Amino acid sequence: MSGKKLAFITGSSRGIGFAIAKYLFHKDWEVITHSRSGRKPEFSSKHIQADLSLECERNELIGELKSYCSELHLLVHNAGIFLPSLISEKETTQKLKELLEVHVIAVQHITAELLPIMPAKSNIVVISSIAALRPYLPGSAYSVAKAAQRMLALCLREELKSREIGVHVINPGPVLTDSWQGVDLPAERFSSPEDIARIVDLIVELSPRTILEDITLNPMQGPIES
């Protein structure tokens, strides 16, 4: 433990989570990273490996984190997966369960367990998506999970006001990460992961009197339509 403010970012081995963790590290935060595969970024002071779709692994993660630190000042729920899946197809039932487990159940489970070590004026950030705001085919089940995740965050915000813990929602449009592997579009059609990191930095720089309720970002040329 370094005496610095401490952040825990889920899914921070790559993509948006990695960019957020790296940005905060350079802003003098101590950063605890996480992934499913166990790839530890070099700047991370501790890395936790856990598959968030599995309750037993989430319990291990919570135990490991609580034995490492007694106070957490920033919790970023970023880990996520995109699975193409139409609500009208039978195969979607299993995919919807997995999407809800990672984007919704895990967020509720981890938040409720970590709240006792989050003091007043700490922050929770949920990386939702523009897919939470309208159907995003062919990712219908993903849209359902992201909409549920966003509503979870809005409810949590109301519940935590009296404890002075801010809950902030970011809804990115297309961001250039592995999620878009195989899609043949120029980099300019995407936002960069660092842009999302800048928003998280803004959140932690705000006075505790203000929250960033719900911010939507898109590439300059607009969202990528299916």
Ligand X SMILES: NC(=O)c1ccc[n+]([C@@H]2O[C@H](COP(=O)([O-])OP(=O)(O)OC[C@H]3O[C@@H](n4cnc5c(N)ncnc54)[C@H](OP(=O)(O)O)[C@@H]3O)[C@@H](O)[C@H]2O)c1
**Interacting residue ranges for ligand X, rule: CB under 6 A:** 11-17, 35-37, 39, 51-53, 78-81, 102, 127, 129, 172, 174-175, 177-179
* 51 or 113: CB nearest ligand X: 51
Least separation, in Å, of the C-beta of 63 and ligand X? Answer: 16
Strand, helix or coil at 224?
Answer: coil
d(C-alpha 15, C-alpha 174), whole Å? 12
Residue from 208, 200, 155, 165 nearest 10 by CA: 200
d(C-alpha 49, C-alpha 61), whole Å? 7
Least separation, in Å, of the C-beta of 158 and ligand X? Answer: 22
Both tokens of residue 123? 């922050």
Least separation, in Å, of the C-beta of 132 and ligand X? Answer: 9
* 78 or 123: CB nearest ligand X: 78
Least separation, in Å, of the C-beta of 208 and ligand X? Answer: 25
d(C-alpha 147, C-alpha 99), whole Å? 11
Least separation, in Å, of the C-beta of 121 and ligand X? Answer: 25
Strand, helix or coil at 13?
Answer: coil
d(C-alpha 207, C-alpha 49), whole Å? 33
Cβ atoms of residues 103 and 53 within 8 Å:
no
Among the residues of 69-139, which ranges form H helices? 92-100, 106-114
d(C-alpha 54, C-alpha 216), whole Å? 30
* 13 or 122: CB nearest ligand X: 13
* 74 or 102: CB nearest ligand X: 102
* 74 or 207: CB nearest ligand X: 74
